[in-house]
Amino acid sequence: SRNLFFVIVDLGASKNTQEILGKLNQCYPFATNEIQQNVQYYLGSISSKITQEAVEALERGDAERIGSLMNQAQAEFDRYLIPACPEQLTARVLHQILNYEPIQPYILGGKGVGSQGDGSAQFIVKDKESQQNLIKIIERDFPQMESLTLTIYADQ
Pick from 11, 23, 31: which is nearest to 81 by CA?
23
pLDDT tens figures, 28-46: 999 999 999 999 999 999 9
Instruction: Read off the amino acid at residue 110.
Output: G
CATH superfamily of 4-152: GHMP kinase, C-terminal domain (3.30.70.890)
Q: Write the CA distances from 138 to 58, 63, 70, 122, 135, integer angstroms.
A: 26, 21, 19, 13, 5
Domains of the chain: which residue ranges?
A: 4-152
Q: What is the DSSP letter of 119?
A: S
- Predicted TM-score (pTM) of the model is 0.94
pLDDT at 156: 61
